[in-house]
Structure 1
Amino acid sequence: MDGSETGWGRQAEPAPRWRALLDRARLGGRGGEQAEADRRVEEHPPAEAPPRRGAGWTGRAQPVGPPAEPSYGAEPSYGAEPSYGAEPPYRAEATYRVEPAYRADPGYGAEPSYRGEPAYRTEPEPPAEPSWRAEPTYRADPEPARGRGSAPVESRYALLDNGYRPDPSPPESRYALLDRGRYRPEDHQPPEPAQAAPSYPAPPVADGYPPRAERARVEWRAPAPDHELERATGVLRRELGGPRVVAFANPKGGVHKTTATVLAAATVGSVRGRGVLAWDDNELRGTLGLRAGSARHARTIRHLIHDLAQIEILEGNTLLGHLDDYLRHASDGSYDVLAGEESPRFAQRLDQFTVKRVLELLRRTHEVVCVDTGNNVESSNWRTVMQAADQLVVTTVPREDAAFSADWMLDLLHEVGMGELVDNAVTLISCPTPGRSALQDDLERHFATRTRAVAVVPYDPALETGSSIEYHQLQAETRQAWLKAAAVMLEPFAR
């Protein structure tokens, strides 16, 4: 037990010392007198007193009576010990149930004044007839009606009642007259100006445009003819005095020998229409058969040589029909292709005698035979084609190594007794990139001293991919350059 209880729920007499200490701790150190006074108030509560208004909330519940109206402005005191046995104040009748003061107003609840009949609902007096409804004075006719006396008539409406007929309406417009067929333009011409008309007047018309005879004419004029192109076309169409073999050569690889062989055959074939063939005589797996013609079959020069003995004894259309089984054709049919063998072991079978037999057979069926000679100048097939060639075309690009290889080949041909072929040769410079190289001028001047002519063909993006060559897909500038170059190649034979 702590001295505050004796058990069984009965209130014990508090210890004076404990109470004094408790009061001092709870009241924050206030004096013993104040604590004693508070204790007495709790032990002996004062008699019932009317509630005080405006004194503030003291923190103690009133035992009886209505609660005092709290004053929220005063500082409450939290330290007083409440009496838990007293009746709570909320059971008392609260003062807020008193009838509020605003209900005492006798006017409350009465019908508001705005519900009365508003003044605007009163029927207004009808407005007087406005002055504009009256007949205006300008409409009155100051003169008397003809034949009806001298009394003035008030308005035109009264005249109509008496048989008045107004003056005729103004003349109709020319559009209405045109609809009725009575309008004549000459009757409505504007008066002539006082001054003389200019020498070349612009006659006015209704639609805003000059007459058809005076309007400017837009005439299409054909471009000026390129006499050089016409001349080149004429050269390619002439008779060549027999079949001609054109050999494209340069020991250096990558100098456009295959491209030049295909495009020369395509150009000549597009003009002549028939009798042109491109042969891949490269002994080391040439690609001319892949870049030119449509492969209807996989036959090459090897298959032709295998059946050469049975084919070369044929004549005329029968020969053409059998030889066609070993050739490939361009997409437009302008030239034929004899593809090279893919196996390098076949090179040993292309001896001098076999190459001569093949060339003799192709001369019997075609007028122009373009041959890609390959890179091995010591091979028998390369030397045989050079000895049988009617025209040598030296292919190169604007590079020093390619030009050096071509120049060395010309020296070699001179040494073996083919100086006439070299002197009549044509140097073909192909541009692998757009623009003009600085070395190109030097190469043109150099090979002009060693060969009969120098031809330059431009760069074309259609040739850059290395795929199949389609002549009609080339740019117009490229086709024109090849037309001139092919004419230079065959010009010595044209009659």
Structure 2
Amino acid sequence: MDGSETGWGRQGEPAPRWRALLDRARLGGRGAEHTDADRRAEEHQAPPPDPLPRRGAGTGWTGRAAAVGRAADGSYGAEPGYRAEATFRVDPAFRADPRYDGEPAYRAEPAYRTDPEPPAEASWRADPSYAPESPVEPSWRAEPEPHGRAEVPVESRYSLLDGGYRPAPPPPESRYALLDRGRYRPVLPPAPEQPVAPAPRRPVEGRSGRIEPTQVQWRAPEQDPELERATGVLRRELGTPRVLAFANPKGGVHKTTATVLAAATVGSVRGRGVLAWDDNELRGTLGLRAGSARHARTIRHLVQDLAHIEILEGNALLSHLDDYLRHASDGSYDVLAGEESPRFAQRLDQFTVKRVLELLRRTHEVVCVDTGNNVESPNWRTVMQAADQLVVTTVPREDAAFSADWMLDLLHEVGMGELADNAVTLISCPTPGRTSLQDDLERHFATRTRAVAVVPYDPALETGSSIEYHQLQAETRNAWLKAASVMLEPFAR
């Protein structure tokens, strides 16, 4: 294969100029020792232009360039400032192979281009997208650094790689930054075990005077004196167990609600000894609206075992009776549920009702009874005769008020006028707001009963579900506290 064609059938590229220079460097510049093969190889090369153009001024990376001319033997000498690498050694006995020709497998990279020498003034690489305003001004304008980045000196294009770049440190965080964000709370020193008397205050003298701290005293919020008085009444001793009967012949006048809330209010203050009994003859709902249904026992089961329970005493009586009672969620009062079967009402005769009331008085201090609607039944009249306090429940409606007024007249006719005169009228508001009829009812029943109490509307009672005393609004609880104290005030000691 000759030097004009490669092994793949394409024309061989002429040997570049740098290969002749490299040969001269390897032979030490001795043109006389060229062999015939070397001359034949040079004859195949295109003669370089004479002379070579002068390069620009050096930039510090290489030596200053000089003109290169053809030697007498027709070859090019090495550059005056050229020195081989320190690791390169030329064997003095080296002789070029007469069969040496340009390496046919060599191909120059298509993308190879000789980079032009940068100007002496440029020490850093400009942004390719930058366009100078005019060719006369060669100065470069660097774009402003982004916020938070330090300016970089332009000593070298490799200054960023050499560690010249240092990010700007963040501004020192304020010592109050944690306080502003709410994540830091200073740890206060422990309070002294013994009270320390405050230091006497001294007057301030001038701007440099010291102001002594004043003593801060915590005061409890002032309470309503009526609420304090009502709480005190409910905490007093009652002498003997008391029975409160909630009555009105008309249905839907909040008898059951009043019975539950009165027991819950008194029980929340006294803490124990309060019971609510559903004595409604026609399927009462007190057992569903009050207490936790931990069992299905009612008054019917208690009456069946009454003979075995009423002979017990002390803790044995309390333990056996507890099997027939339900308890409020907070344990403030107990519940004796009524029977749902209307046929059982025939068994609650006058004698049986007295025995049940006597048993409950032995175990509880306050018994709240939800009466039925039949004023002619022996059960209803027995409860009225045994009651210590009558509570007439009504709502601001004419039919409910008429039924309550008629019941008071009936009690006077049957010889229980004293109970009617000492009764407490409880007006429950089923809707928010106050009507003119409510004012008329308050004035009317104030002339017929000992006192009139009004309890406001509460949305927690509107659904008719289980009654939870702690879920009532504060205004409702305060009103019931005053109403319950009015009911028990004649018996408090």
> In which range does the TM-score fall when normalised by the shorter chain?
0.5 to 0.7
Match of 2:389 among 387, 391, 412: 391
Q: Aligned partners of 2:284, 2:119: CA distance in 1, in Å? A: 116
Q: CA deviation at 1:461?
A: 1.0
* Residue identity matched to 1:368: V
Q: Per the alignment, do residues 212 and 324 of structure 1 end up closer, same or farther by CA in structure 2, a change over 3 Å counting?
A: farther
Match of 1:424 among 422, 425, 429: 422
Q: Which residue of 1 aligns with 2:328?
A: 330
Q: Aligned partners of 1:431, 1:285: CA distance in 2, in Å? A: 24
Q: Which residue of 2 aligns with 1:203?
A: 207
Q: CA deviation at 1:200?
A: 7.2
Larger radius of gyration: 1
Q: CA deviation at 1:326?
A: 0.2
Matched, 1:403 2:401: yes
Q: Which residue of 2 aligns with 1:196?
A: none
Q: Aligned partners of 1:408, 1:442: CA distance in 2, in Å? A: 17
Q: Which residue of 2 aligns with 1:489?
A: 487
Q: Aligned partners of 1:446, 1:229: CA distance in 2, in Å? A: 26
Superposed CA RMSD in Å reads 2.5
Q: Which residue of 1 aligns with 2:181?
A: none
Q: Secondary structure at the match of 1:267?
A: helix
Q: CA deviation at 1:237?
A: 1.0
Superposed, 1:227-242 pairs within 5 Å as 227-242=225-240
**TM value normalised by structure 1:** 0.57
Q: Secondary structure at the match of 2:332?
A: coil
Q: Secondary structure at the match of 2:454?
A: strand
Task: Tell me how many residue pairs correspond in the alignment.
Answer: 302
Q: Which residue of 1 aligns with 2:63?
A: none
Match of 1:471 among 445, 469, 472: 469
After the TM superposition, which of the residue ranges 373-382 and 222-231 deviates more from structure 2?
222-231
Q: Secondary structure at the match of 1:223?
A: coil
Q: Aligned partners of 2:120, 2:217: CA distance in 1, in Å? A: 85
Q: Aligned partners of 1:443, 1:122: CA distance in 2, in Å? A: 109
* Residue identity matched to 2:212: A
Match of 2:277 among 252, 276, 279: 279
Q: Which residue of 2 aligns with 1:159?
A: none
Superposed, 1:142-291 pairs within 5 Å as 203=207, 213=212, 220-291=218-289
Matched, 1:304 2:308: no
Match of 1:444 among 442, 445, 452: 442
Match of 2:365 among 351, 364, 367: 367
Cα deviation digits, residues 209-257 of structure 1 (max 9, x gap): xx6636x887654322322111111111111110110000001111110
Q: Per the alignment, do residues 475 and 202 of structure 1 end up closer, same or farther by CA in structure 2, a change over 3 Å counting?
A: farther
Q: Aligned partners of 2:268, 2:327: CA distance in 1, in Å? A: 13
Q: Aligned partners of 1:333, 1:403: CA distance in 2, in Å? A: 34
Q: Aligned partners of 1:204, 1:434: CA distance in 2, in Å? A: 62
Q: Which residue of 1 aligns with 2:413?
A: 415
Q: Secondary structure at the match of 1:446?
A: helix
Q: Per the alignment, do residues 223 and 348 of structure 1 end up closer, same or farther by CA in structure 2, a change over 3 Å counting?
A: same
Q: Per the alignment, do residues 320 and 123 of structure 1 end up closer, same or farther by CA in structure 2, a change over 3 Å counting?
A: closer
Q: CA deviation at 1:317?
A: 0.7
Q: Aligned partners of 1:349, 1:490: CA distance in 2, in Å? A: 31
Q: Per the alignment, do residues 245 and 122 of structure 1 end up closer, same or farther by CA in structure 2, a change over 3 Å counting?
A: closer
- Stretches of structure 2 that go unaligned for 5 or more consecutive residues are 1-54, 56-117, 122-202
Cα deviation digits, residues 433-479 of structure 1 (max 9, x gap): 11112211111100000000001111111111111111111111111
Q: Per the alignment, do residues 336 and 201 of structure 1 end up closer, same or farther by CA in structure 2, a change over 3 Å counting?
A: same
Q: Secondary structure at the match of 2:330?
A: coil
Between the aligned residues of both structures, percent identity stands at 88
**TM value normalised by structure 2:** 0.58
Q: Which residue of 2 aligns with 1:137?
A: none
Q: Which residue of 2 aligns with 1:460?
A: 458
Q: Aligned partners of 2:407, 2:480: CA distance in 1, in Å? A: 24
Q: After the TM superposition, which segments of 4 or more aligned residues of structure 1 sit over 4 Å from their partners?
A: 121-124, 199-202, 216-220
Q: Aligned partners of 1:123, 1:280: CA distance in 2, in Å? A: 109
* Residue identity matched to 1:260: A
The answer to whether the 8 Å contact 2:279/2:369 transfers is yes
Q: Aligned partners of 1:122, 1:306: CA distance in 2, in Å? A: 118
Cα deviation digits, residues 79-111 of structure 1 (max 9, x gap): xxxxxxxxxxxxxxxxxxxxxxxxxxxxxxxxx
Tell me which protein shows more helix as a share of its residues.
1
Q: Which residue of 1 aligns with 2:24?
A: none
The answer to whether the 8 Å contact 2:392/2:404 transfers is yes
Q: Aligned partners of 1:372, 1:432: CA distance in 2, in Å? A: 19
